[in-house]
Amino acid sequence: MPSEREQAAALLAAYGQEQLLRFYPQLSADSRDKLIREILSLDFELIKSIAHNGPSAAGDDAVIEPVQAYDWDKFDSGEQRRFERKGWELLRQGKVGALVVAGGQGSRLGHEGPKGTFDIGLPSHKSLFQLQAERLINLSARAGRAVPWYIMTSPDNHAETVRFFKEHDHFGCAPDDCFFFEQAVLPALDVHGNVLLAAKDRINLAPSGNGDCFAALARSGGLADMKRRGVEWLFYYNVDNALIKVADPLFVGVAAHFNNPIATKVIEKTDPAEKVGIVCLKNGRPAVVEYTEIADSLRHEADVQGKLKYRLANLSIQLFRTDFIERHTNAQLPFHIAHKKIPFIDETGALIAPDEPNAYKFERHHFDFFPLADHITVLLMKRESEFAPIKNKAGEDSPESARRMLFGLHRSWLLAAGVPAERLKDREIEISPLVSYAGEGLEHFKPELDPKPEPGRS
């Protein structure tokens, strides 16, 4: 029987990737074993097929049309209460789980470590993970049933993420209700389709995108855990949204009422150049078209009211029915290809940091599950209560802009609870998610914000 070294060499020869063993004779025994394991773990047939595909795009031949959306504010109060009751009913029955996509690093924010561990600068100095954990704790306590939390990491940050949760006692969540699992990776390819090395003993691998979430959930046992618990709806979101209402009961109720396989929250896109995808119909099927892939003519098109015709911004806030997930776990989603500046080891063994894009990364997107559903439920919400992404170190979509939005939201909660505006002037208001999930229960905090009486006065 051939050794693993011989198997790897034969595999590379069959697919024209022999350069991966170029430095093998120079490596230590441990480094040799590590490199061989990486080579044998790759799906070279998949790599060969995606190397010949161009970038995914809406294209001139795709028919793009607006999709129907329900505006939450246009439901009457009776309908809103019914949706809320339905959502709470499902939470109390343990039929809702939450999945956070948390495989990214905080390097663009100047933060060393997983993005979920980032402190956005609130007075409490809570990390993104802690804010989300406390929202789940609040919901679970009120529902009398824990909402299980499925945390998708990447190979680069898995161990550090798990360690961070352990160091913080899972922020009060039961460890058994926090399920960690890793997404898959794919190698970076140069313009000739050659797999790049990141080091002499390491292939240049990158996460294969959030479209791997359901397959990774199944591989890890997470899907089986959901079935054991009786979870019927999985709330999907990105870790970097500071305002995320994890497992939002209102949203759950709307999704369950219409009972389409997928429900998605959207906000209105007011600037054609805003870097968010649009929720729409593509060739008659539900879809998201990324901002990099939509034609300029569609990007700026207006409707009869003068609003952007394609203004429903994708927030990566979805609910997926569990039976839909099971049915499409291994769906062959398209790959989206990004041309990037990717450091690599050249033929001399030197590490090259290119000045221009030199290679390609391949990702699958979770929203490419949308066309597999005949219909989806689209719920239009207000930006200021739903979406404060943290993408950049400064300026737009930064920690500072997210803090400003969170302070504004919490201020609005107190105003709605009856606190006079003059008593909130120039104050940075942070309300713990353990105290209020969405502005409820704040009336009895009003006296704490009143001026204390001077001695001798009542």
Q: Which residue has the tokens 């959306």?
A: 69
C-alpha 68/C-alpha 280 separation (Å) is 8
C-alpha 135/C-alpha 288 separation (Å) is 28
CATH homologous superfamily of 62-442:
Spore Coat Polysaccharide Biosynthesis Protein SpsA; Chain A (3.90.550.10)
What is residue 62's predicted lDDT score, i.e. its pLDDT? 85
Residue 398 is given by DSSP the state S
Distance of CA 44 to the CA centre of its chain: 28
The candidate with the shortest Cα–Cα distance to 286, out of 111, 103, 65, is 65
Distance of CA 426 to the CA centre of its chain: 33
Summarised one tens digit per residue, pLDDT across range 294-311 is 888 889 999 998 899 999
Summarised one tens digit per residue, pLDDT across range 183-197 is 999 999 999 999 999
Q: Which residue has the tokens 């839909």?
A: 324
Q: What is the three-class DSSP state of 434? A: coil
CA gyration radius, the chain: 24
Count of Cβ atoms closer than 10 Å to residue 63 Cβ: 9
Q: Detail the DSSP E strand segments found in 83-129.
A: 96-101
Q: What is the three-class DSSP state of 186? A: strand
Q: Which pTM value belongs to this model?
A: 0.92
- Provide the residue type at 292 as one letter: T
Residue 241 is given by DSSP the state B
Helices (H) and strands (E) in the chain — how many of each? 13, 20
Confidence of residue 60 (pLDDT cuts 50, 70, 90): low
For every residue of 122-184, DSSP letters joined together read -TT--BHHHHHHHHHHHHHHHHTS---EEEEE-TTTHHHHHHHHHHTGGGGS-GGGEEEEEPP
Q: Average pLDDT in the 332-338 region? A: 88
Give the phi and the psi of residue 138 in degrees, each rounded to 5.
-60, -50
Summarised one tens digit per residue, pLDDT across range 415-447 is 999 998 988 888 899 999 999 999 999 987 666
Summarised one tens digit per residue, pLDDT across range 245-276 is 999 999 999 999 999 999 999 999 988 989 89
User: CA torsion sign, 136 to 137 to 138 to 144?
Assistant: positive
Q: Detail the DSSP E strand segments found in 226-325.
A: 233-238, 262-268, 278-282, 285-289, 312-321
What is residue 2's predicted lDDT score, i.e. its pLDDT? 87
